[in-house]
């Protein structure tokens, strides 16, 4: 297994985050060898400056946290963020469209974000706490077919976060070649290890430094 540090997207998506918080986030990512930082779109240029010539990648969120923007808006936001320096895109799937079984709407929006990403990593947040097992499998299969790089459990802003059972189901559904990111409510080293054992190959947490202590 790789060092756990290499699995981590070091995250600060708080509404009240200020520039110094993002600068600290980037310094911690460099110091600890985290895979990336994940910040709100406004802070992508700042993160890109802080991480220039360093290993951690710059990640951001699209259609966050509700996923209720149109596919065209998600496309435009992704394109702009890539030009601002984002290297990884975590997009929120349209949960309402999934519940309505409007699967072509979801497929098209993921396609648009993948196209806009210019070959960069795209993670599709399916918000597992709002879905039943059938819906989780459908969302995973659509994301895979639409060309996404990862499926991701949660925004961390809904009613629940990453569970071992959901990660196992997602990994079984997408197979060995697609990424599975666990995020939301991850606050212990034991939880991270269990999620990795269940099939996650990326972990999103805002508590990484405290966990690793």
Q: What is the rounded average pLDDT of the residues 25-40?
A: 98
Give, in order, the Cα–Cα distances in Å from 75 to each of 50, 63, 69, 98, 118. 26, 10, 10, 19, 11
pLDDT at 175 over 70: yes
For position 206, what pLDDT does the model report? 97
Global pTM? Answer: 0.97
CB atoms within 10 A of CB 103: 14
**Mean pLDDT value of segment 15-44:** 98
Active site residues per annotation = 90, 152, 181
pLDDT of 158 above 50: yes
* pLDDT of 2 over the 70 cut: no
Q: How many domains does the chain divide into?
A: 1
User: Is the pLDDT score of 1 beyond 50?
Assistant: no
pLDDT exceeds cutoff 50 at 24: yes
Distance between CA 1 and CA 197 in Å, rounded?
10
* Average pLDDT of the chain, as a whole number: 97
Partners of residue 124 on adjacent β-strands: 91, 151
**C-alpha span between 162 and 168 (Å, rounded):** 11
> Given a cut of 70, is residue 50 above it in pLDDT?
yes
Confidence category of residue 211, pLDDT binned at 50, 70, 90: very high
Taking only the tens place, the pLDDT of each residue in 94-150 is: 999 999 999 999 999 999 999 999 999 999 999 999 999 999 999 999 999 999 999
pLDDT top residue among 213 and 135? 135
Short-list 78, 55, 45, CA closest to 148:
78
Q: Can you give the pLDDT at residue 213?
A: 87
CATH no. for residue 141?
Answer: 3.20.20.70
| 17 vs 20: CA distance, rounded Å | 8
What are the respective helix, strand and coil percentages of the chain, to the nearest 5? 50, 15, 35
Domain that holds residue 141: 4-212
Integer Cα distance of 29 and 36 in angstroms: 7
């Amino acid at each position: 297994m790789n060092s756990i540090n290499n699995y981590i997207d070091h995250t600060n998506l708080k509404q009240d985050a200020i520039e110094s918080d993002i600068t600290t986030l980037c310094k911690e990512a460099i110091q600890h060898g985290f895979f990336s930082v994940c910040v709100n779109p406004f802070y992508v240029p700042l993160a890109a400056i802080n991480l220039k010539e360093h290993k951690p990648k710059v990640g951001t969120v699209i259609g966050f946290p509700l996923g209720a923007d149109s596919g065209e808006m998600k496309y435009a936001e992704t394109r702009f963020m890539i030009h601002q320096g984002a290297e990884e895109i975590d997009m929120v799937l349209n949960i309402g469209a999934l519940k309505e079984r409007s699967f072509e709407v979801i497929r098209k929006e993921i396609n648009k974000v993948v196209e806009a990403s210019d070959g960069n990593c795209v993670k599709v947040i399916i918000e597992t706490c709002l879905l039943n097992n059938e819906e989780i499998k459908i969302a995973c299969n659509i994301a895979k077919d639409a060309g996404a790089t990862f499926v991701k459990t949660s925004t961390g802003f809904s009613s629940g976060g990453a569970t071992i059972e959901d990660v196992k189901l997602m990994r079984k559904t997408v197979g060995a070649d697609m990424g599975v990111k666990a995020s939301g409510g991850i606050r212990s080293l034991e939880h991270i290890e269990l999620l990795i054992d269940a099939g996650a190959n990326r972990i999103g947490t805002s508590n990484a430094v405290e966990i690793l202590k």
